[in-house]
A and B are shown apart, each in its own frame.
Chain A
Amino acid sequence: MKKVSFAHMGYSYLGFKQLVEDMGFAAIVPPSPSPATLDRGVQYAPEFACIPFKMVLGTYLEVLEQGAEIIITSGGVGPCRAGLYGMLHEKILRNLGFDFEIFVFDPPLTGLWRFYSKLRRVVRGAGLSWPAFVDVVRRAWAKLKLLDALEQLASNTRPYELKRGETTRTFHDCLKIVDQARNLKEIASARQECQQLLQNIPRDPGRHPLKIGIVGEIYVMLEPFMNLEIEKTLGEMGVVTHRSIYLTQYTATDVLAHGTMDVRQLAYPYLNQFVGGHGQNSVGETILYARNGFDGVVQVAPFTCIPEIVAKSILPRVSQDFRIPVLSLTIDEQTGRAGVETRLEAFIDLLRERREQMEARPYAALLPGY
């Protein structure tokens, strides 16, 4: 049985694990990213590659040492560098003497035939028929959707929790339940069970938490280790967070289709050009969050990420025009948790102050002369 592995991105590894195992391969589940993983990646990666590149390289080194023979990953169409990662990772790893096969899947719309022939090689290698493969994909997709829904529910619950840390604990229990669910029926009942668990967390409904939108680059946004668990940190500071990217939603709109046009259209007055990655989305989504009454936006971006640098230079203007505070966090291997937490705390203080002032204004109008 071939041993197959993949990159670690957020909690999606549960979905991919199921996909690979259902296809009849042995899944080498990538270990959760740790400073050690990152160190190994940094050692062999180019200095100015962005942190996802280094992290994924470190992950590959770990899974290859555990005996992975096939790596499956996603490609891209540029001009973001991520589209070339597969190629460069392969070159670096081969140069280090590893022997393995790597399948890099570019979005199907950029080359249907290439996508199909690659997929056929994988499916044939697994000895599956096409209908059986479709079934496998449907199960994995259902699981990924469930994971996204639970993450969203958890970040909506966290600011109301009475006992700090309870939501995160429950969420991790949920992950175990989801991991056990193997077919569509089990996944559906896991959904019921987990939603119940999260809803039963004792909470204080009287709170009036701030709302912060998170925009930026997909990998640092989805991988809690990379963004220093920004959602948990903010949640426990009493903030409802909403991420602009969830994996299944992103796959449906950007990988299989041509992107979320409404977000891009919002960005047009500021950035009238697709610049790769999520650059244009970051601008458009900030505007969207401002319109939907969010209190602030946090942009998370890897150091040297080109599309996000373009977005970062434009966001101050957007922030001014739409009166929404924006905090840009650039993340690299030197970023420390304490530094990020301090900046987030300061940002939240600012938002609280701002909200109080805005709420005070109507009363001022009621009582003229005071």
Chain B
Amino acid sequence: MTLHIGFPTALIYYSHFPFWQGYFNRLGVEIVTSPPTTRTILDDGAREAVADACIPIKLYHGHVLTLKDKVDALFIPRMVRINRRATFCPKFLGLPDMVRATLTGLPPIIDLQVDAGRGLLGLWPTCRGLAELLGFSLGTAWPAYREGNKHQRAYEELLRKGYLPLQAMARLRGEAVEAPSRQPGALNLAVLGYPYQVYDDYISLDIIGKLQKMRANIMTMEMLPPRRLFQLSSRLPKRLFWHFSNLVIGATYHYLQQGDIDGIIHVTAFGCGPDAMVDKLMELDVRGISQGKVAYMSLSIDEQTGDAGVTTRLEAFVDMLHQRRENR
């Protein structure tokens, strides 16, 4: 009987899932993901998780709940660092402990630490630990690790070509999905935010889909090489501590330099700690660097945010940008 390991469709799913899928598949372990977010999943998570947590964390609890009776073990890696430049948000650092303390009746949790800050070995130490834990030899783990890297590289390649994360994953599964092509003359909007917030269609209220329907070209931070984003983020007097925040800030600077961007939309979760800082920095710098040429909107989303409200705000923003273009 093959081992079934649960991987919640939240948080690092949108940035690192292909690696883990490649790795586990090659080992012969079945990886089970939770279904896309629904109202029930979010409500369950919000009920169980600590009240002050941000939505993505509550949502993660909800996804864990949907998986807990279907799998032999849950894979909740403790994401500490994936490069030497920054750590993850403290809620990622404490994630396995939070889940363990909050939810009951869970299958065993695999909470190995991912800390690629020190050496050149990347995720290998974690993979080696996993193989030892699950009883595979290092001889089988190494090709699996390589396989994971291959998947991740292919995934990131697709993202840079303009695929959105879910499309890129569908493409990797072999479905015929095409990246949205850029339409000349349409508005260019950068939609920035943490992947687990922007690409979860339910909690982001499908902002990207809505904007695409309004005929806007969407740019995201995944379309840029992370190395460049980190370079740009060091323009701040002190580099931010958090991985995704650096990417968002770097992308802001990149799109401000690019010059053909009409507006930047920052998607943030209610109660997100790092974003309190990031949002203010973006607001001040977008205004300061572009001299008012680039419009900035911050969309904060919580459990209560309504679809209609977001649509109205997006429409107003897009209308305003159209008008600006005409006046120019």
Contact = CB atoms under 8 A, between A and B. Distances in A.
A303 interface: yes
A314 B98 contact: yes
Interface string A213-239: 000000000000000000000000000
Interface in B92-107: 93-94, 97-98, 100-102
A77 B241 CA distance: 8
A95 B101 CA distance: 43
B276 A309 contact: no
B87 interface: yes
Interface string A290-324: 00000000000001111101101110111000000
Contact of A88 (B53, B241, B273, B277): B277
B78 interface: yes
A125 interface: no
Sort chain B's interface into a size bin: 35 or more
A272 B97 contact: yes
Contacts of B100: 317
Contacts of A273: 78, 80, 93-94, 97, 113
Contacts, number: 121
B3 interface: no
Contact of A84 (B93, B94, B277): B277
Contact of A313 (B50, B78, B87, B280): B50
Sort chain A's interface into a size bin: 35 or more
A157 B32 CA distance: 59
A274 B93 contact: yes
A177 interface: no
Contacts of A276: 90, 93, 241
Contact of B52 (A80, A309, A316): A309
B237 A87 contact: yes
B87 A78 contact: yes
A310 B98 contact: yes
The CB with the most chain A CB atoms within 10 A, among B50, B89, B236, is that of: B50
Contacts of A274: 93
A303 B53 CA distance: 10
A279 B242 CA distance: 17
Given A78-B241, A312-B52, A47 B276 contact: yes
Interface string A64-105: 000000000001011111011011101110010000000000
B260 to A, nearest CB: 27
Q: Which 7 residue pairs across A and B have the least CB separation, nearest first?
A: A78-B241, A310-B94, A313-B50, A48-B276, A306-B273, A317-B101, A275-B90
Given A90-B237, A276-B93, 12 more contacts: A46-B279, A78-B242, A79-B89, A79-B241, A81-B274, A91-B281, A271-B94, A273-B93, A304-B271, A309-B53, A313-B50, A313-B98
